[in-house]
């Protein structure tokens, strides 16, 4: 039996790729974090929807694998892309315990790409993503990655920039970046990417340090060449220079 790990895109059923929609249509059971199940609840109310809360990722994946091993066609849904801070990893780590189950991964639109489209074209050159959540990664490691990305002049997408328990993490991250980046560096953020209430803002790195954001926000830090063009955040790739 097949278990499919499906990327919903940041906006849920409105952002589904054709392959993702086909996988959900073919499933009997759809399993996911409560917020992500809610994104598709209306479109797939005729399916068995199994929602679990935050921090139950391993148990959720094991339950889905057990359902698939019992003969059901199961889909596990993730916001964005399942291989970017999603459930593809833990599912594949657990899969050897269920040799009768074939795990397939269906790509989705990452929040980084979805938010970039809202802002303009901030990721046209080399970039990296860094999560500011220290639930899985020690903060010291996060700081080293931030410092290295800043020194290498990467455009940077920050996931999980703030929460109730770590409201100062974005400011701390900005302090690391400001050690080597100009305070005037063009930045932006997008909240509720692809969902109701979507909003964005362009600002400098210096201003970003004091911005109020939450877990539903992706933050974009430009490189030394990033600029604002007609109200859009753009990182030049260099095509025009090469043509000269």
SS (H, E, C) the chain: CEEEEEECECCHHHHCCHHHHHHHHHCCEEEEEHHHHHHHCCCCCCCEEEEECCCCHHHHHHHHHHHHHCCCCEEEEECECCCCCCCHHHHHHHHHHCCCCEEEEECCCCHHHHHHHHHEECCCCCEEEEECCCCCCCHHHHHHHHHHHHHCCCEEEEECCCCHHHCCHHHHHHHHHHCCCCCCCEEEEEECCCCCCCEEEEEEHHHHCCCCCCCCEEEEECCCCCEEECCEEECCCCHHHHHC
Average pLDDT of span 188-192:
97
Given pLDDT bands bounded at 50, 70 and 90, which one contains residue 206?
very high
What does the pLDDT read at residue 239? 67
What does the pLDDT read at residue 160? 95
What does the pLDDT read at residue 241? 57
Average pLDDT of span 45-56:
90
What does the pLDDT read at residue 145? 98
What does the pLDDT read at residue 117? 97
Average pLDDT of span 48-56:
88
- Percent of the chain whose predicted confidence (pLDDT) is above 70: 98
What does the pLDDT read at residue 219? 98
107-156: pLDDT as tens digits: 999 999 999 999 999 999 999 999 999 988 999 999 999 999 999 999 99
State yes or no: pLDDT of 242 exceeds 80: no
What does the pLDDT read at residue 240? 66
What does the pLDDT read at residue 166? 82
What does the pLDDT read at residue 56? 83
What does the pLDDT read at residue 243? 53
What does the pLDDT read at residue 14? 82
């Amino acid at each position: 039996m097949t278990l499919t790990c499906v990327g919903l895109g940041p906006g849920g059923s409105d952002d589904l790729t054709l392959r993702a929609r086909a996988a959900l249509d073919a499933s009997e059971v759809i399993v996911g974090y409560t917020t992500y199940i809610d994104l598709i609840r209306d479109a797939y109310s005729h399916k068995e929807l199994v929602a679990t809360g935050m921090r139950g990722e391993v148990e959720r994946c094991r339950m889905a694998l057990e359902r698939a091993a019992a003969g059901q066609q199961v889909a596990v849904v993730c916001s964005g892309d399942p291989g970017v801070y999603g459930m593809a990893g833990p599912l594949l780590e657990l899969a050897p315990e269920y040799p009768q189950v074939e795990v397939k991964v269906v790509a989705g639109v990452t929040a980084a790409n979805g938010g970039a489209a809202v802002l303009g074209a901030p990721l046209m050159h080399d970039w990296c993503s860094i999560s500011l959540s220290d639930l899985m990664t020690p903060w010291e490691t996060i700081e080293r990655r931030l410092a290295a990305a800043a020194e290498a002049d990467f455009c940077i997408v920050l996931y999980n920039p703030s929460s109730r328990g770590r409201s100062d993490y974005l400011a701390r991250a900005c302090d690391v970046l400001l050690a080597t980046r100009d305070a005037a560096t063009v930045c932006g953020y997008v909240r509720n990417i692809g969902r109701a209430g979507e909003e964005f803002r362009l600002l400098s790195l210096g201003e970003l340090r004091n911005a109020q954001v939450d877990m539903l926000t992706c933050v974009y830090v430009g490189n030394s060449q990033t600029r604002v063009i007609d109200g859009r955040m753009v990182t030049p790739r260099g095509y025009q220079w090469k043509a000269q």
